Every structure is written in C-alpha cells, then in structure tokens.
Structure 1
Amino acid sequence: MSGTPLRFILAGLLGLSLTTAQAQTISLPDPQLGPRPFYLVDKMKDGPLKAKLSTCTGPFRKSDFSIAHRGAPLQFPEHSRESYLAAARMGAGVIECDVTFTKDRQLVCRHSQCDLHTTTNILSVPALAAKCTQPFSPADPATGKKASAKCCTSDITLAEFRTLTAKMDAANTSATTVADYQNGTPRWRTDLYASSGTLMTHAESIALIKSLGAKFTPELKAPEVPMPFDGDYSQEKYATQMLDEYRGAGIPPGDVFAQSFDLNDIKFWIRTAPDFGAQAVYLDGRYETPGFDHMRAETWKPSMPELKAANVKILAPPIYMLLTLGSDGRIVPSPYAKAARDAGLDLITWSLERDGPLANGGSFFHRSVKPAIDRDGDTLTVLDVLAKDVGVRGVFSDWPATTTFYASCMGLR
C-alpha cells in the first residue's frame, strides 16, 4: 500500500497549491470508504443483497463505475479541490468538472454559470458583489418576497474568480441579510469543511484529476448569457476550447467523457473531434419537456434508434427515468431503460445520494419508485437494480464511497 508523500501532506496543511509537475507524482492509498457504506448496509431490508454486502470487507478498489458528481458534495463544497480529493480518496475512477466561462473567456469548474451567489462567498466581497448580474435583494416578510441574487462567472474575470472561496451550494430565501442568505445548507449536509473551499479552473482540475490517476467527465454547461459572448465567442468555440484543454494537457481522449445536455454539442464533437466524440455523454434533460414520459416511447424525441443513428453512444438520464415498479411492487427497469439497451446505447445515470435521507421516499431522483423507498439502505437496493438489471456502466454519486463499495463487492471495474 502506498502513502501520500510528506511534501503533499504539508502542502495541504499549509493551503499551498501544487504545480502541474508536482501533481503528477501524487499517490493515494487504497480507497478509504469510512463508515457510511456500512451504515447503509445495516439499514437495508433483510434479504440476499443485504446478506451479501454484509460480508463484504474488501479489498476496496478504485472503479470507473464510481463517478464523482461534482466531487463529493454530500460534505465538501462542490467542484472544490477538497471535494475532488475526497472523491479520489473514496475510489472514484471518474471525476466531474462542470465547465463554464468567466468574463475574460477562461474556463472554470462551476455547476452553473450563474451560481456564484449560492456556491461561493461572492456576496460577502463588496467589490465583486457589486458586479453581479443581480445584487442581493433581501426577503420582505410583509409582501412574501423571497431573498434573491444572481452572480455569474461571466460577471467577473478569472483573476477575480480566484479570490473567491467555495461553500456548500445553498441559500436561505427568507434571509434579510447577506450573512443569513449564505447560511442555508440543509441539515443533512455539513458546513464543517466549507470554510476554505478552493475553487478550481478547468485546467487546474485536469492537472489534479490526472495526478490522482482518475478519468475525466467534464460537462459543458449551457451559457446563461447570449451567445456569441463578447463579440465572437460562439458555442462552437466554447465547446472546442473545453476539449483543447485536454489536448494541451496530453490527456488521452479515451480517458475523457465529455458531457452536455445539448444534443447539438454532442453532434458537434462527434463531427469535429471524433476522438473525443466517440464517448461523449448525452445528458438527457428531456424530462423538462412538456409531455415527456419515461414510460411512453412516443414522447421520446428523438427516439432511441435515432440517437444511435446519430452516433450517440452513451446516454445519461437521471436515476428515476431508468426505473419503475413491477406488478409486485419491486423496483425494475423502466421501458426507457429497456429501449436504450435494445438500441445499443450505453447508460450512465445521476445522481445517487443527492436526495438526502430516504425515509419518505426521496425526492426527484427516486420519484418513479417512491412507494418502494422508506430507508437510507434502499440506496444500495436502487444501485443494485441499476447495475444488474438496467446494466448501467457507471453511476454519479454525491458520496463516491458508496458506489466504490458496491463496485468492489460485486467485482465491477
């Protein structure tokens, strides 16, 4: 078992950044899973799956089945250096950077172009808060008006972005002050590690993830400003720039799973960058389209065969779209899942452990199977159906130790 070199431990303690050359020598011990996967096993319903997982004591290994959703945001600020390190230490074989751009067209890791007011301390920095698209507006209990703000990466330069600190993604919409507005973290997450989260540029994330021996799944986020931006910065230039940063870092295209909710981005990569486009991931957001129903094929436009004919190889819907309940009330693959596999599409899904405690059936990600969900241990039941019955190749999780544990116990790579 190899340990982390002393100079990197010291660098972390001192808050120092590592150069790309130094980062290339980072080594990690075998995945450290902590108590949560075993807590989930203890909370499962009795049955063969619980019996099998109860006897699983390792060894635990890094797995591409375990995909870090924004790092490890169940406890660490998303898309922060600390979040990525935690994900790698938990055995995530693939780590996500959601990619957007600053005012000076530099790429950075943020879930949304306009989420700085909920994911960073920007509102506490007067000079930068003044540059926000929408400055902080307090709640007004008399009228029922909610507190709001809108701060975008495109409002500030990269140099200004680097001065910010990452925090847990949350806002208190009942707040009348900035301090209260930024104090909205759900009770089932934590602010314990959120006081000094280190923001990452896209290039820095590439260097770090490479040094950790993991693969990459960058998501090209939809711009929230009119495109072309700043005169000539088109969607195509933006999409090309993202892949160029992997080329510039010498990353093999086979280690990169570029994602987008925009099918046009996927087709653009397939056409102009086939080495990367060959495993581009189409994130299926059609659930937001009026009339869409994951149980009715006539509402899927384009159809599964049409996606396959367009050379899309990997489809990634939210978890609920791949699941339904059988006549006996058990969780089974949905018609959507079966049609995708019948068409020859690989599947990835998102995002495990995003719903919080499952005592009441969860929320968005479990909405198609809520009657079968009544405890946290059902996380592993859902994961088992996704892996064995649906046949997904990977699962995004907010706490990669869980997916690493399952993959190691079941012999998945």
Structure 2
Amino acid sequence: MSIRFLSVFRRVAPTLLLACAPARAPRSAPVMPPLGQPTVAPLVIAHRGASGHRPEHTLEGYALAVQMGADFIEPDLVSTKDGVLVARHENEIGGTTDVAAKFASRKTRKVVDGDTISGWFTEDFTLAELRTLRAKERLPFRSHAYDGQYAVPTFVEVLALADSLGRRRGRAVGVYPETKHPTYFRSIGLPIEDPLLRALRTHGLDRADAPVFIQSFESGNLRVLSTQTRVRLIQLVSSAPQVTPAALRDIATYAYGVGANTRQIVGEDSAAVPTSLIADAHAAGLRVHAWTLRPEPVFLAKRYRGDPIAEVRELVRLGVDGLFGDYPDQVVTGLRK
C-alpha cells in the first residue's frame, strides 16, 4: 500500500469502525444549550477521549467515546517544533508514547511553568517526527492491550473526526480543547492560541453557539481570548481562593463557566456536606463542569463505596452542568438511572 493510502486510512479508520457498530440512541441533552437557558441534563465530556478504554488522546479513543454517547471530546493541545497543534495531555510525552524507544538521544530537561521536568517534549519534534510515534496507556493499572497501535493526532484531525461523527449521528459532536502551558509555549515562540483560533475559523466554529468550549488553568490567556473569539471559555479552577463568590463574579466577566475538581464540589471524604461552589457559580451566571470521574479506587472518593454511578447521581443532584469522565459509558449510564 502507498504511504498516501496509509495516511488517509489512519484518519478515516475510526469513522469506518464506528459505522460498523450499532449506534446508541441519542441522548436528550443538547450539545450546546442557548445562552441564558438552563441545561436540560449535564453534558457528558469524554476526558481525553474514552481514556479508560483506549490510550488517551487518540482518534480511536475519541471515536469510541462518541459511540458511547459522549456530547464532547476533549483534546489537550500542545505544539510541535513546527507550530502544529497536537493532542497530548502534556508536552512531555515519555509516558504516553514510545518516544523513548525511538528517540532515546533526544531526552532532555526543561523548566515548564516553574517545574523542572526530564523527558521528551513535543516542541523538540517536528510533526513528521511525531508521526512515527505510537500512543500507549499512561496508567499501569489500566489495559495496555492497545499500546503501540495509534498515532498522535493533530487538532485539525480531531475537528475533522468530530464533524464526521456528528454528521453520522445527526447531532453535533462537541470539541472541548484545553490550552496546555500557553504562557510557556508563547515564551518559546510557539503560541497555542493563534493556530487554535485559525483552525476553529476554518471549520466555521468561531461563534457563540458553536459546539466548542476552550478551557485553561491560566486566566491571562482566557482574558485575551475573550477579546478574540466568540467561542465560550471555561476557567479551570483548582484552589479555594479561585471559587469564592467574588472570584467567581470576576471569572464571569470573561468566561462562560468553570471547570472544577469534584472534590471542590462534594468536599473531601471527611466532609458531610457538599460545598456551595455550584450555587455560588450559578449565582454569578457561570456553568459548572466537574472533573474528573474515574471509577478506580485510587481516584473514586470513599463516600461512594466503590460505586462510580453514585458519584454521577450525587453531582447531578447538586446541579452540575457537565461531567468529565474517563469512562463516558459509565457517565451516560449514571444519567439514565
């Protein structure tokens, strides 16, 4: 087979596989609720794809998540040396690809956002070099049956896949990109925001009602993005000072919602009463998307006694607007009960 054929086949294979599988009945929740109107049911956001079932951030993992009923797929975005956005959770890719075996001599040490990290970094590789790599499961206690099979996708490929899958099921597949280390990437001359917005505009997605959220832990780049795009922005929060009523009102000046750790919503295992985060955010006019639902004992709070569906039900009862899950099929099951 020619190299061109292999390249095309890799891009369309997830769609072909999905087309051969029985389609799930569509959920009633809208992919993108209109401004000023409540969400009918929480959005199901496939965290890094169906990352509990397949290596994270692969086209195959994203396609499986959609088959399972996810409303949104989440690509974390980092840059290559030649300025192409690819889907990886971090720019250090030693734990998620076979880069160590193929480029052993390229290992280095860098300071990224104040942390000293040793490994292999996307910004040191061209897209052509990254194309030679294959993804692998990051966590030792999850299946490694699919290691070495799937390529590292570009953001443009993720958008094309979402469009294709959405057309097939007759309802848009949302895309929920996160800008990873945007200040760091801008400091080395590889800004993430510019190619991100170009790709969205090319696909007709730079609009307020597009099935897209852009998220970031950094507030500076979101404030700038709020002046450059109509796409809805999500401020990721991870500390108590970020979710005070005053802080939430400030976030509402540039963002549509917040992405909060589940522990910030339900409290730690020792807490008997959930926090007021959802009520405070809603009072400020913000939506709340909770991350990340994972069933393994190392992640699942003890309050749920080993039942991940109980976690879904509690968050729904508290009024959450979206749920990030590594196993989107479990989140969908929890919403149907």
TM-score (norm 2): 0.80
SS at 1:191's partner residue? coil
1:369-409 residue CA offsets vs partner (Å, 9 max, x unmatched): x4x2322x2x22221121122x12210100100122233x2
Question: What value does the CA root-mean-square deviation take over the aligned residues?
Answer: 3.2
Distance (whole Å) between structure 1 residues aligned to residue 74 and residue 12 of structure 2: 21
Does the 8 Å contact 1:62/1:404 carry over to 2? Answer: no
- Map of 1:122 onto structure 2: 99
Partner of 1:345: 286
Residue 325 of structure 2 is aligned to residue 384 of structure 1: no
1-side partners of 2:57 and 2:220: how far apart? 25
Contact 1:70 1:96 in 2 (8 A): yes
Give the counterpart of 1:229 among 147, 168, 188: 188
Aligned to 1:313: 256
| Match in the other structure for 1:191 | 144
2:227 matched to which residue of 1?
A: 271
Aligned to 1:239: 193
In 2, Cα distance between equivalents of 1:282 and 1:346 = 10
Distance 1:62 1:168 in 2: 32
- Deviation, 1:224, is 8.2
Q: How many Å apart are 1:97 and its aligned residue?
A: 0.6
Counterpart residue identity of residue 328, structure 2:
P
Residue in structure 1 matched with residue 69 of structure 2 by the alignment: 91
| Structure 1 contact 117–149 (Cα < 8 Å) conserved | no
Amino acid corresponding to residue 312 of structure 2 in structure 1: L
1:76–1:244: structure 2 CA closer, same or farther, 3 Å change rule?
same
Aligned-residue offset at 1:252: 5.7
CA shift for structure 1 position 70: 0.2
One of 100, 115, 119 as aligned partner of 1:150: 119
| Counterparts of 2:309 and 2:187, CA distance in 1 | 44
The whole-number CA distance in structure 1 between the counterparts of 2:245 and 2:134 is 41
How many Å separate the matches in 1 of 2:185 and 2:165? 36
Query: Which residue is 1:219 aligned to?
Result: 178
Alpha-carbon distance between aligned partners in 2 of 1:311 and 1:155, rounded to the nearest angstrom: 33
Residue in structure 2 matched with residue 49 of structure 1 by the alignment: none
**Aligned partners of 1:75 and 1:190 also within 8 Å:** yes
Larger radius of gyration: 1
Alpha-carbon distance in 2 for matches of 1:336, 1:325:
14
Aligned to 1:56: none
Kindly indicate whether structure 1 or structure 2 has the higher relative contact order, using CA contacts under 8 Å at least 6 residues apart: 1
Indicate conservation of the 8 Å contact 2:278/2:320, yes or no: no
Does residue 103 (structure 1) correspond to residue 61 (structure 2)? The answer is: no
Which of 163, 170, 190 is the equivalent residue of 2:132? 163
Stretches of structure 1 lacking an aligned partner (at least 5 in a row): 1-10, 32-58, 136-147, 171-184
The amino acid of 2:165's aligned partner reads L
Distance (Å, rounded) in 1 between the aligned partners of 2:245 and 2:276: 15
Which stretches in structure 2 are left out of the alignment for 5+ residues? 32-42, 111-116, 167-172
Please say which of residues 157-166 and 72-81 is displaced more in the overlay: 72-81
Secondary structure of the 2:213 match is coil
The alpha-carbon deviation at position 325 of structure 1 amounts to: 7.6
Counterpart residue identity of residue 356, structure 1: E
Query: Do the aligned partners of 2:310 and 2:334 also contact (CA within 8 Å) in 1?
Result: no
Amino acid at match of 1:133: T
Give 1:270 shift.
1.2
- Provide, for residues 150-208 of structure 1, a one-character-per-residue CA deviation record: whole Å limited to 9, x for no partner: 111011111001110000114xxxxxxxxxxxxxx22xx10112231221011111111
Give the conservation status (yes or no) of the 8 Å contact 2:265–2:277. Answer: yes
Matches within 5 A, 1:346-365: 346-353=287-294, 356-357=296-297, 362-363=298-299
Question: Using a 3 Å threshold, how does the CA distance of structure 1 residues 23 and 247 change in structure 2: closer, same or farther?
Answer: farther
CA drift at 1:239: 1.0
Distance 1:149 1:75, change over 3 A: farther
Pair 1:302–1:260, CA change in 2 (3 A): farther
Q: 2:304 aligns with which of 373, 377, 382?
A: 373
1:336 is matched with 277
Contact 1:333-1:385 within 8 A present in 2 as well: no
Whichever residue aligns with residue 76 of structure 1, its letter is R
Q: Which residue of 2 aligns with 1:145?
A: none
Could you tell me which amino acid in structure 2 is paired with residue 216 of structure 1?
A: V
> CA 1:252–1:271 in structure 2 vs 1: closer, same or farther (change >3 Å)?
closer
Q: Secondary structure in 2 aligned to 1:204?
A: helix
- How far residue 223 of structure 1 moved from its aligned partner, in angstroms, is 4.6
Q: Against the structure 1 CA distance between its residues 30 and 61, is the aligned structure 2 distance closer, same or farther, given a 3 Å change threshold? A: farther
**Matches of 1:215 and 1:95, distance apart in 2:** 6
